[in-house]
Amino acid sequence: MLPQSEVAAGIQQELLDFAALVRSLEDGEFARPSRCDGWTVGDVASHVIGSFADITSGRIEGQDTPEVTARQVAERRGRTAAELADELDHVTRRAVRMLASFDDEAWAAQAPGGYDLTLGQAMEAFWCGTYVHADDIRAAIGRPSERGPGLRASVHHVADLLGLKGWGPAVLALDGLDELRISAGHESAAPRITGDPLAFLLAATGRADPAPLGLDPTVNVYA
């Protein structure tokens, strides 16, 4: 896992950047379809903001299930981009206080809500989700992808999930990132996966064809 201080600071900055992205959306962009099946750009933004609104209010159960994501979107339907960004500004302040309240023991303990992740891994998951959904929005409105700490954290999170689902062994040797070994509980010869980390992340989250990376659909952590 990434250090707690890095994750806490990274989530704060990712949320600030996400709010700025949402606030910049014009009405036509807000209504465009996204690569998330059946969702507009506004729906994607509503889900991200709703997720953090939920967890900072203690509504932990069912995050990322179809029922909860549908509720998060429905609760915000009809709001403007500016109104959603204003909500996220408020939620971000709560998230910063929440992240600062976790001690080392809590960070390493199982996440509440019955998830098979530590609290630290769960927070990485929320960082990854925010980064990837920001890229969903940029892709829908024709803006270029952005890289940086969110991409690195997302690759780390996906590597964790692949190990948990028994995928591998493999070594992720992606451009510009530290190498990550996915052992899946055994130490046999591991192929090296190279190339663009964003291309890998999009393939591993079901958003792009994994074949150009020499991978098959089993790399999709959501399959």
Q: pLDDT above 70 covers what percent of the chain?
A: 98
pLDDT confidence bin for 113, thresholds 50/70/90: confident
| Positions of CATH 1.20.120.450 in the chain | 4-141
pLDDT value of residue 184: 61
> Class of the 4-141 domain?
mainly alpha
Rg for the chain, CA atoms, rounded:
17
pLDDT confidence bin for 115, thresholds 50/70/90: confident
Mean pLDDT of 97-109: 96
> Class of the 149-219 domain?
alpha beta
pLDDT value of residue 173: 96
CA-wise closest residue to 45 among 19, 14, 10: 19
pLDDT confidence bin for 116, thresholds 50/70/90: confident
Mean pLDDT of 99-127: 93
Mean pLDDT of 48-54: 97
Does position 71 have pLDDT exceeding 80, yes or no?
Answer: yes
Burial of 188 (0-12, 13-18, 19+ CB in 10 A): exposed
Q: What is the pLDDT of residues 149-193, one digit of tens each?
A: 999 999 999 999 999 899 989 999 999 999 999 986 555 678 999
Sheet holding 170-174, edge to edge: 180-182, 170-174, 192-195
Does position 31 have pLDDT exceeding 90, yes or no?
Answer: yes
| Positions of CATH 3.30.1050 in the chain | 149-219
Main-chain phi, psi angles of 186, to 5 degrees: -145, 165
Mean pLDDT of 142-150: 96
169 prior amide bond cis, ω within 30: yes
pLDDT value of residue 178: 93
Strand 180-182 and strand 170-174: the pairing is antiparallel
pLDDT confidence bin for 2, thresholds 50/70/90: very high
pLDDT value of residue 185: 55
What average pLDDT is seen over the chain? 94
Q: What is the pTM of this model?
A: 0.95
